[in-house]
Amino acid sequence: DTGVSQDPRHKITKRGQNVTFRCDPISEHNRLYWYRQTLGQGPEFLTYFQNEAQLEKSRLLSDRFSAERPKGSFSTLEIQRTEQGDSAMYLCASSFPGRNTEAFFGQGTRLTVV
Amino acid sequence: GEDVEQSLFLSVREGDSSVINCTYTDSSSTYLYWYKQEPGAGLQLLTYIFSNMDMKQDQRLTVLLNKKDKHLSLRIADTQTGDSAIYFCALTSGGGADGLTFGKGTHLIIQP
């Protein structure tokens, strides 16, 4: 296990389409986080899971955004009816519970909405 | 909410020390981090410090925390071309519910 894995690395989609991204955390990590990073900005926290439970989702950007982690392992982030403003890097991170000190990030999925 | 401020750019000569600064507003921040991001890559955790510490050293990296002034700094000794990247300061209260709050990042530029 070499780290947090995200797929795809790049996604180009037309406005109005739905997209789904996948994140595979480090296998022994129970916590999984999603962030969005736009150009020239730091990452912005969206949501997080502990095992399969989504413990914080109020920071998701709109009701077009949803995330799941059905079996407590990999997670998906879906954006419905994409807009040009959704173009960004979507980052996933994972950590041990209570060990926020060691949140490891994946390489991200870069979304371009045209 | 939490506000984290960093200078956008820092230029240093190769071999000199780099000092990247960060100020924040939330005094309840308990964990403070430095991440490095190279072009097209994810974020690499460099080091972190607990709020009950005022200094942490790890090889070429030295983190200083001034809680009174809410100021965090990262010193990179003997800066090399491979240190060229964006450096992000990030904070959390530690409960996980808010995730990490990041600054906008400081672009470290190395001059030969």
Cα separations in angstroms, B13 against A25, B79, B83, B110: 38, 8, 11, 6
State the pLDDT at residue B52. Answer: 85
For chain A, say whether B96 makes contact (Cβ under 8 Å): yes
Cβ separation of A107 and B33 shorter than 8 Å? no
B48 CB neighbours in chain A (<8 A) are 101
A39 CB neighbours in chain B (<8 A) are none
A108 CB neighbours in chain B (<8 A) are 42
Mean pLDDT of chain A: 91
Cβ separation of B33 and A101 shorter than 8 Å? yes
Evaluate if residue A1 carries a pLDDT over 90. no
The rounded distance, in Å, linking the Cα atoms of B103 and A35 is: 14
Give the pLDDT band of residue A114 (cuts 50, 70, 90): very high
Q: How far does the CA of residue B47 sit from the closest CA of chain A (Å)?
A: 9
Residues 6+ apart with CB under 8 A from A90: A6, A21, A34, A35, A36, A37, A77, A108, A109, A110, A111
B2-51 pLDDT per residue, tens? 789 999 999 999 999 999 999 999 877 778 999 999 987 889 999 989 88
Cβ separation of B104 and A40 shorter than 8 Å? yes
Q: A55-64, B39-48, B93-102: which has the minimum mean pLDDT?
A: B93-102
Evaluate if residue A100 carries a pLDDT over 70. no
Give the pLDDT band of residue A101 (cuts 50, 70, 90): low
The rounded distance, in Å, linking the Cα atoms of B18 and A34 is: 31
B35 CB neighbours in chain A (<8 A) are 105
